[in-house]
């Protein structure tokens, strides 16, 4: 399996090599190893190496729409239904980070018979 990151052996430039999805994985822990005199000194014990850990945090983008959960059936009320008494409850979920605006869901009536009257 190819990893999500590549490093250039000559320049040390770290690049993303595959799509990242914060909802699948939000953090990556990478370990980078650097060698000096590797080509000529490795077999003779004349090269040295060092390690460093890099933590990559993937920021959330608003790439998932909310999913509405509503009753399957129509709801019927009478004209005697009490003012401000709930009729039905709807809910929604969003796969984006709910601690950011991207994953917070709000509801608004935007149309329909009786809207705005």
53 plus 67 within the same structural domain? no
Domain count, the chain: 2
48 plus 67 within the same structural domain? no
47 plus 66 within the same structural domain? no
78 plus 93 within the same structural domain? yes
The parent domain of residue 27 ranges over: 5-57
pLDDT band for 4, please (50, 70, 90 cuts). Answer: very high
76 plus 117 within the same structural domain? yes
> What are the φ and ψ backbone dihedral angles of 24, each rounded to 5 degrees?
-85, -45
39 plus 13 within the same structural domain? yes
Closest CA to 15 of 59, 54, 60, 63: 54
76 plus 115 within the same structural domain? yes
Neighbours of 106 (CB within 10 A): 7
pLDDT given at position 64 = 95
pLDDT given at position 1 = 45
Rounded to an integer, the average pLDDT of 21-37 is 93
40 plus 78 within the same structural domain? no
Closest CA to 87 of 106, 74, 72: 74
């Amino acid at each position: 399996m190819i990893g999500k990151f590549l490093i250039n052996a000559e320049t040390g430039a770290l690049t993303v090599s595959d799509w990242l999805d914060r909802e699948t994985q939000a953090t990556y822990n990478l370990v980078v190893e650097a060698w000096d005199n590797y080509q000529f000194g490795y077999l003779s014990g004349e090269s040295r190496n060092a390690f460093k850990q890099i933590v990559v945090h993937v920021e959330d983008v608003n790439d998932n729409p909310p999913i509405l959960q509503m009753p399957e059936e129509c709801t019927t009320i009478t004209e005697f239904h009490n003012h401000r008494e709930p009729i039905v409850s709807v809910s929604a979920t969003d796969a984006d980070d709910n601690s950011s605006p991207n994953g917070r869901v709000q509801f608004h009536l935007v149309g329909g018979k009786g809207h705005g009257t």
